[in-house]
Amino acid sequence: MAARGSSFLSQRRLASIGRYLLLGFFLLFVLAPIYWMFNTSIKPSSDYLAIPPVWFPDEPTLVHYEAALFTYRGLQGIINSLIVSLSATALSALLGTLMAYSLARFNTGGQHLSFWVLSQRFLPPVGIVLPVFLIYRNLGIHDTHFGLIMAYTVFTLPVSVWMMFAYFRQMPKSMEEAALVDGWTRWQAFWRVAVPLAAPAIVAAAVFAFIACWTEFFFALVLTGRTAFTLPTVFRSFIGFQGAQYGEAAALAIVSLGPSIVLGVLAQKHLVRGLTLGAVRG
Amino acid sequence: MAEVNIQRLEKHYGAFHAVRGIDLEIPDGEFTVLVGPSGCGKSTLLRTIAGLEEASGGSISINGKVVNDDRPRDRDVAMVFQDYALYPHMTVANNIGFGLKARKMPKAEIEKRVGEAAQMLGIVPLLERFPRQLSGGQRQRVAIGRAIVRNPSIFLFDEPLSNLDAQLRDEMRGEIKRLHQDIATTMIYVTHDQIEAMTLADRIVLMRDGLIEQQGAPLDLFERPATTFVAGFLGSPKMSFLPGRLGARDGQVGVAVGEHFMPLPQGRAPDTVKGEKSVLLGLRPEHISRAQGEAPTPGSVRYDALIDLVQPTGSRSYATFRLGREPVVAELQAHDVSRAGQKLALDINMNRASIFDAETGRAI
């Protein structure tokens, strides 16, 4: 018995060592590029491609940050990106919640409308970018925050609606019905009962929408110019005739990670539940 | 305080006809139980009274006022749901007070009423908890508290006990009955459980396929079922049905089951019998007992049974035997029967037997 017990124990220990090794490797896989990016952002230019590689610069510098944020107008890009992404996310969450609720509870548009909404994602963006550009120019909303907010709201809505639709549909109706019998109107039952309960899905949809807006490049490139340009388009200027500005690119990339990390931490609790959607009841 | 009057109520869901023209009057203060198998329309009927479903035809009046077009909030009803339907993001106190808040009651008054309701249901220590921290029975109490605190003119219950385990269900059933005794408000209660229906109801409305099969006091339905469906639905173990022929033999009216002729006592037999008629003889387990004495008591028929199954329950035992070809269940004293294969003389009380037309299933 003793022998079997100890071999069982050592087997378990072996398994846990294996698990940690695997996790460690995965962590390295994920974090190493980020570390290298950070490392590059504080290196003097001469160290970028040095052989052997410089693992940590002897004299860390912030010149790349200064250049990326001010010379290359990265800070303006971040501000524009925040304005556009946050507005589009808020609009998409608000409209998406209303649409999804309507589809789920009142079967609006019959069987097909909900799928039609999702099918809007199948459209390749390149197919519509030129007409949108022309329309925007004629309407005078080219290179404005408003124009880009509208475009991003429209692009993020299908997925937002679909995520929340699935959630609302699996949510028992009886709580809203209890609110109706309790003396609230349909609208109040929606705001006071359905929306708080759907918070995980709304948060998950909003995080997706924000990340999609924050990283969008193609439409930002076509629909903006000197004024409303967003962060991703700034990276374009780091590749020029004289070669690539690795330090500036890395510095701006590090800064642009910020909002995603903050959002991820804030939304983590809701995100896990929201992403599993209707997988588990109750 | 309210009476409910339903006339020719219809409800369609697409092609499905859930309620098929129901007339029902529920007097003020009565405890009415809507009972029937699943899909019979009882929940739909309740939800239509609440205003959660729109009637496709007919009318619903509360205190003489037609409420078909009124929103749920304007009907002054409170409802307890099968899944409790507590608001998960609110404390127990806020759950109970949520309906009062909707009616713009002052905060102090809400707190007072919530406190009183919690006192009544013994959930004062739970007031600051969230629904997820409560057991099933506690949740059900909160759901009932949410209804009581509103002091509505009608209480609606939609299978409120079906998610509880057996012991808790018995306990809560008693509490709901007591609640009705104390506040004497009109209550309409939906269940598929015939024991709940029998124990709680002032009146049972037994439904089937969107229609009312029979309604009346619980014992009336139990003792004088109008159809085989009602007879089979109420009572556990259920009534045994024996195909036979109703007719006269040697001047006595009775039912022949196989070669056994079972005479009916006077008063129980139909006045006129012309020739013979195919019938179903309905015998309840409790109307069959172990024979005592030389001759059966008046109105009873003695039968020498060969017991082929015994199911003891503790105080009583259910013994199955065959009469003709059909199995019959008898409810006997626990020690009157010991094992399968036993021969036992039984007295069948024909005073209590039910007789149904074999074709229509209606009582004769």
Closest CA to A179 of B81, B82, B308, B247: B81
Last residue of a domain, one of B204, B233, B262: B233
Last residue of a domain, one of B206, B233, B260: B233
Tell whether B56 and B105 lie within a shared domain: yes
Helix (H, G, I), strand (E, B) or coil at A244: strand
In a domain? residue B53: yes
Closest CA to B139 of B155, B151, B121, B152: B121
Tell whether B142 and B178 lie within a shared domain: yes
Tell whether B98 and B144 lie within a shared domain: yes
Tell whether B223 and B331 lie within a shared domain: no
Tell whether A67 and A24 lie within a shared domain: no
Residues in A closer than 8 angstroms to B51, CB to CB, are 180-181
From the list B83, B146, B156, which residue is nearest A172 (CB)? Answer: B83
In a domain? residue B202: yes
Give the angle subtended at the CA of A186 by the CAs of A181 and A191, to the nearest 5°. 110
Contact assignment for B73 to A180 by CB distance below 8 Å = yes
In a domain? residue A188: yes
AA identity, residue B154: I
Chain A: give the shortest CA distance to residue B71, in Å. Answer: 8
Tell whether B219 and B262 lie within a shared domain: no
CB pairs below 8 Å between A and B: how many? 61
Tell whether A42 and A157 lie within a shared domain: no
CA–CA separation, A44 vs B215, rounded Å? 92
Tell whether A205 and A90 lie within a shared domain: yes
CA–CA separation, A255 vs B256, rounded Å? 95
The two beta strands, B16-26 and B65-66, are unpaired
In a domain? residue A55: no
pLDDT exceeds 50 at position A195 = yes
In a domain? residue A52: no
Tell whether A94 and A234 lie within a shared domain: yes
Domains contained in chain B, number: 2
Can you give the pLDDT at residue A3?
A: 52
In a domain? residue B363: no
Residues in B closer than 8 angstroms to A193, CB to CB, are 87
Can you give the pLDDT at residue A1?
A: 46
In a domain? residue B13: yes
Q: Identify the H or E element spanning A127.
A: none
Last residue of a domain, one of B200, B233, B266: B233
Residues in B closer than 8 angstroms to A181, CB to CB, are 50-52, 72-73, 77-79, 99, 156
CA–CA separation, B153 vs B130, rounded Å? 28
Tell whether A13 and A126 lie within a shared domain: no
Domains contained in chain A, number: 2
Tell whether B92 and B215 lie within a shared domain: yes
Tell whether B283 and B213 lie within a shared domain: no
- Give every strand in the sheet of B4-13, ordered side by side: B16-26, B4-13, B57-62, B65-66
Tell whether B229 and B249 lie within a shared domain: no
**Which among B71, B80, B90 is the top mutation candidate for probing chain A, defined by the most A β-carbons within 10 Å of its own β-carbon?**
B71
**Which among B13, B54, B74, B79 is the top mutation candidate for probing chain A, defined by the most A β-carbons within 10 Å of its own β-carbon?**
B79
Q: Which residue of B has its CA nearest to A173?
A: B85
Domain that holds residue B276: 240-357
CA–CA separation, A252 vs A192, rounded Å? 41
- Flag whether residue B146 sits within 8 Å of chain A, measured between CB atoms: yes
Q: Are B221 and B234 in contact (CB under 8 A)?
A: yes
Tell whether A109 and A155 lie within a shared domain: yes
CA–CA separation, B92 vs B81, rounded Å? 16
- Flag whether residue A185 sits within 8 Å of chain B, measured between CB atoms: yes
ipTM of the complex: 0.85
Q: Which residue of B has its CA nearest to A196?
A: B89
Tell whether B192 and B58 lie within a shared domain: yes
Tell whether A35 and A169 lie within a shared domain: no
Cα–Cα distances in angstroms (integers) from residue B114 to residues A200, B156, B236, B312, in the given order: 30, 20, 40, 47
Can you give the pLDDT at residue A275?
A: 54
Chain B: give the shortest CA distance to residue A186, in Å. Answer: 10
Tens digits of residue pLDDT in B33-68: 999 999 899 999 999 999 999 999 999 999 999 999
Chain B: give the shortest CA distance to residue A91, in Å. Answer: 25
In a domain? residue B43: yes
Write down the pTM of the prediction: 0.83
Tell whether A145 and A35 lie within a shared domain: no
Tell whether B67 and B211 lie within a shared domain: yes
Tens digits of residue pLDDT in A39-60: 999 988 888 887 888 888 888 8
- Flag whether residue A182 sits within 8 Å of chain B, measured between CB atoms: yes
CA–CA separation, A78 vs B225, rounded Å? 79
pLDDT exceeds 90 at position B128 = yes
Residues in A closer than 8 angstroms to B150, CB to CB, are 182-183
- The CATH number covering residue B306 comes to 2.40.50.140
Tens digits of residue pLDDT in B108-120: 999 999 999 999 8
Can you give the pLDDT at residue B250?
A: 82
Contact assignment for A177 to B52 by CB distance below 8 Å = yes
**Which among B87, B90, B105, B148 is the top mutation candidate for probing chain A, defined by the most A β-carbons within 10 Å of its own β-carbon?**
B87
In a domain? residue B244: yes
Tell whether B150 and B265 lie within a shared domain: no
Can you give the pLDDT at residue A279?
A: 38
Tell whether B104 and B160 lie within a shared domain: yes
Domain that holds residue A30: 2-47
- Flag whether residue B54 sits within 8 Å of chain A, measured between CB atoms: no
- The CATH number covering residue B212 comes to 3.40.50.300
Name, in order, each residue with C-beta under 8 angstroms of A40's C-beta and a sequence gap of 6 or more. A48, A246, A247, A250
Q: Which of A50-54, A160-164, B233-237 has the lowest mean pLDDT?
A: A50-54
Q: Are B144 and B85 in contact (CB under 8 A)?
A: no
CA–CA separation, B348 vs B330, rounded Å? 9
**Which among B77, B81, B82, B96 is the top mutation candidate for probing chain A, defined by the most A β-carbons within 10 Å of its own β-carbon?**
B81
Percent with pLDDT over 70 in chain B: 99
Tell whether A15 and A86 lie within a shared domain: no
